[in-house]
Structure 1
Amino acid sequence: MLYSIHSLTALFPALVNLTTLYIDFNFSPWEPSHDMENMLRTAVHAPNLTEVIFASIGSLLHPRTALCLFEGASVKKLFIRDWEESGVVEGPVPPGIPLPSISFLSLSLNYSMANKWDPKTYIVDLPHLATFRVVIEHWDELEAYCRSIDRGFPSIDTFQCHWEGAHFSLSRNYGAISVPDIGRFRQIHLTISAWHDHWVKVHQIVLWWGYAFRNVQTGNSIETVTFSFPMRFPLASGSEEASWWNTLDFLLADQMFARLHTIHLEAIQYQNSATFDRLAVKSKVEVAFPTLCRRGIVRF
């Protein structure tokens, strides 16, 4: 296996056409070592690499070490999936590491890691980060992201929040609703996974969306909002489900959203479902967002 790591270390610089790198460490036979770390550093410095996806890297590298691999790299989009609390011993704390090339960061952390997430903890600076995407399964995980959004990342233009998996649940602290300050972002993209096939879970997520927009203040920067959601359930005027979306319609139609000019609706299509009937979708959209549809700012 050591030979394999050395071979990969020699191979990556020769992959001049490599633009995307995806490694799932959950199935990796590697163990933490200097050679393995050097191989990964060489990999992310491939000459034309622009996008990196690391899954389950926490078992091999401390989060700070993993992020510092990208110092001097040209990678623009970084996805870190299933990042669990690392059992790897942390090395010496390096000085602040600038990562100016990264403009898109997507994080999917487990509960323990999410509660510890703070970019300052990892001694990295993301001065040109324009899009911050988080993938969430529990309310609890959002709290740390809210703190980091509120305190840092001044360059972010777009905030994306994706509710993932079939195991979505409310916070362990049921009395607390964690709501980020999304009013300072120009573009908001909120997504529900196609795996959410129970109307109660969809209701909980749409309810949180309402909390988020209700928290926005006059003079906010929001210009476009995108909702990506499953259209599996019937949506009839006066129905309970329609009332969830009508709340969003009411909030976004308020004059405090003076800069809001476009709302994109992306209906998620299931792999085993037939092609959407656009007229049927249109009728549901008009039931869900009657005021905004009349204004002509809804796109789908």
Structure 2
Amino acid sequence: MNDFTVLVLPGAFASSVALTLDILSAAASLAARAACATPRWRVVTPQGAVQLNHGMTIDATILPKTARPDGSTWVIPGLGLESPPAITERLAQPDALRAMQALQAHVQAGGTVAASCSAVFLLQSAGLLAGRQATTSWWLAPLLQQLEPRCAVDADRMVIRDGTLVTAGAALAQTDLMLHLLSTQFSPALADAVSRALLIDGRQSQAQFIVPAMFANGNALIAKLVERFEFALPNPPGVAALAAEFCMSEHTLSRHVRVATGRSTSALLQSVRLNKARMLLETSKLTVEQVAERVGYVDTTALRHLMRKLTGVTPRQFRPAVSPPM
């Protein structure tokens, strides 16, 4: 019996698929050293051999038309979709609908399903996220929340397990997803061995990678709001002043921001501050105190707290590593 079933749709993100298979291969090679069973897996697609994005082709077993009890964890790599229209169009295709039916049957039989990035929308379209906690690519999180209001979407988390459903962030969070599955289904020792062998850093949050401008996603108001925050640092305007600038009430402004980004106006400002601070720490020689001042904090305490809370690291850890002289 297989431990994992990797479900790949045509056009899937090639690196997400490759990472999944490479991590499983590494786990199989290192299992004896970690004193645990060797993972087994199969790759299935709705149509046999499929072409991934950028032209890579892989062979696979055709997804059975009739679902059978399956004790494996189904893993769906990212679909290679970046925009709401692309997601809507892709999930309406016959192969996606067939995949949804298979996922529904697997979950109804008590099976576990894991997905990252835009593949999480496959779970949403299959009706599997209602009443659950989930994450996805941070810039797609607002869309996921709109499509499934009954799901508690957390854009900052890298991996979320809620019962038999496991979701992860943007495409390369597939590595974090696979390490989580290896750790929980085999042993932390195996996950650690794979992580060390492939030089994978453990990450708990997507927050440090967020680029606030991408929250706009075609929304002119959010784009202008982010630009206004960035231009005004270190002294950004309050919600009342912003509402007056945009000729609307504070309530209306807050509602527009919440619907478009899944965040409050103050949380959006925090993302702008964090992104600016990260950029300054990575690219300048400013001290942490000077960076805090540039983004609107009177001392470093607030900046340290923000970074630790949202990213799990300190300001100094954003500094680029310096190699010793040869």
Q: Which structure is higher in strand share?
A: 1
Please give the TM-score of this superposition, normalised by the length of structure 1: 0.35
Please give the TM-score of this superposition, normalised by the length of structure 2: 0.33
Q: Which has the higher contact order (CA 8 A, sep 6+)?
A: 2
